[in-house]
Structure 1
Amino acid sequence: MVNGLKAYCIFCKTGSENHVKQQIEKIDNGIEAIVPVRILWEKRRGKWEIREKELLPGYVFIYYKGGLPEDTLRTLIRNYKLLEYDTGKKELWGYDYDYAMWIYSYNGRIEESKALFEGEMVKVVDGPLVDGIGKIIKLDRHKRRAWVEFDFAGRTFRVSLSVVDITPY
């Protein structure tokens, strides 16, 4: 556990993540809420532009030192679902906790990674993917994309993230 920081996750209606984040921050300023986003390079009209898209639509991560004050969040939890394991435990643990802390370490902004392409091998040298979270399934050097698969809350997610080829030619 990083400095006693515990992680939780709220499942909400897709598109309402930022509203949920604002409500949490109004209720208790000791709770840090993060709506994770991915920063993508996309080609529009022949030019590369940066776009921001949600990493996990419908999920808001919350971080708190100590036990989460559920009584404080009761009105919010009534409308949204705090993720809970079969054991009744609500605090993220194991790989889910590692994933939540990976998001926290990048302040919820998963930017591009830099990679060297050596034949069939890809070596990520900088950026969020260097931490080894997830598995690279597919790469498209021309579109600067890597499709990454990871598990969270018992589900497998596949998202595209930006990767820049820094292979010297």
Structure 2
Amino acid sequence: MGWYVLQVLTGTERDVCTALRRKGVCARAPAQRMEIRRRGQWHEEECLLLPGYIFVGAEYTAALFHVVSPVPGVIRWLGLERGKPQALDTRDVLRWRLDDGETLGLSRVMFFPGGWHVLDGPLVEFTGDVIRMDRRQRRAYVVTSLGGRPQRVRFGVIPVDGDAQ
């Protein structure tokens, strides 16, 4: 089985996944926990990791294309090569944690003067792709490839001071 990327209308990710599952297709819209500040308090919420994209796990066939494409909200398959979508490689499947289907947790990041270091969590797999770390907002911004296209993704982080572990 290979994992493929579908671009969908933003806001319809979960509906598209539900519709595909009803048709017998394995579909995932990866989610993550994020800390969001409201009224001076930090609250943990579940958010989509990749708004506008879902992953489909199957062997690609013309029949699969005709099952998936008419689902409301589906825009297109990513990673087309000669008209056929290319499956994600094993490394990407592991990075996006598609095989476990769990909500991704927060990553602990140690901040020290002049830098930072990712201690654990899903951000460990993307450390080399981090373009910005925002301690105050508790976010890490990453640019990585998704279906052959660069994609900006934000991860939730828990700041840890350099002298504490």
Give the TM interval when normalised to the shorter protein. 0.7 to 0.9
In structure 1, stretches of 5+ residues that fail to align are: none
In structure 2, stretches of 5+ residues that fail to align are: none
4+ residue runs over 4 A deviation: none
2:5–2:146 CA contact under 8 A, matched in 1: no
Change (3 A) 1:132 1:106: farther
Residue in structure 2 matched with residue 68 of structure 1 by the alignment: 60
- What is the TM-score with the length of structure 2 in the denominator? 0.80
Residue in structure 2 matched with residue 109 of structure 1 by the alignment: 103
> What CA RMSD, in Å, does the superposition of the two structures yield over aligned residues?
2.4
Moved more, 102-111 or 15-24: 102-111
Residue in structure 2 matched with residue 87 of structure 1 by the alignment: 82
Residue in structure 2 matched with residue 154 of structure 1 by the alignment: 148
Residue in structure 2 matched with residue 48 of structure 1 by the alignment: 42
Q: What is the number of equivalent residue pairs in this alignment?
A: 159
The answer to whether the aligner puts 1:77 opposite 2:72 as a matched pair is no
Instruction: Return the letter of the residue paired with 1:152.
Output: L
Counterparts of 1:111 and 1:70, CA distance in 2: 36
- What is the TM-score with the length of structure 1 in the denominator? 0.79
Residue in structure 1 matched with residue 12 of structure 2 by the alignment: 16
Instruction: Return the letter of the residue paired with 1:34.
Output: R
Counterparts of 2:12 and 2:80, CA distance in 1: 23
Identity %: 26
Counterparts of 1:155 and 1:73, CA distance in 2: 21
Counterparts of 1:72 and 1:145, CA distance in 2: 37
Query: 1:132 deviation in Å?
Result: 3.0
